[in-house]
């Protein structure tokens, strides 16, 4: 029986986002950094089995690019699904103007 699991691939910029947010938070509070990175990883694991779990953006331009997103505390994870791969495009703070960044 084939596996229904998808694989996750981070774009380089998304990897940098993840490292930067973790480092930034860790500079103030290591336990908070571990907490948010664990929550992000847990959410990413949840979409491995159900990639359509993420919300569809309201913004038409972003929606038309095929993005879905997850919200984890103050962070938004933008991703696309292609065949059996989930591409993580960006992980950014919700206060940022994500439309200009994507």
* Both tokens assigned to 22: 């973790």
Strands across the sheet containing 7-10: 7-10, 85-93, 75-82, 68-72
Ramachandran bin of 66, using left for φ above 0, alpha for ψ from -120 to 50, beta for the remaining angles: left
Contacts of residue 10, Cβ cutoff 8 Å, sequence gap at least 6: 18, 87, 88
The ranges assigned to domains in the chain are: 7-101
pLDDT tens sequence across 14-53 = 999 999 999 999 999 999 999 999 999 999 999 998 999 9
Are 79 and 67 in contact, with CB atoms under 8 Å apart?
yes
In words, the CATH class of domain 7-101 is alpha beta
Is the pLDDT assigned to residue 1 strictly greater than 60? no
Tokens of 16: 């940098």
């Amino acid at each position: 029986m084939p596996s229904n699991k998808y694989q996750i691939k981070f774009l380089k910029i998304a990897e940098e986002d993840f490292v930067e947010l973790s480092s930034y938070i860790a500079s103030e509070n290591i336990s908070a950094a571990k907490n948010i990175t664990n929550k992000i990883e847990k959410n990413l694991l949840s979409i491995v089995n159900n990639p359509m779990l993420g919300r569809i953006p309201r913004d038409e331009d972003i929606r038309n690019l095929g993005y879905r997103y997850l919200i984890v505390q103050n962070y938004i994870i933008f991703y696309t699904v292609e065949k059996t791969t989930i591409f993580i495009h960006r992980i950014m703070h919700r206060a940022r103007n994500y439309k200009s960044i994507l």
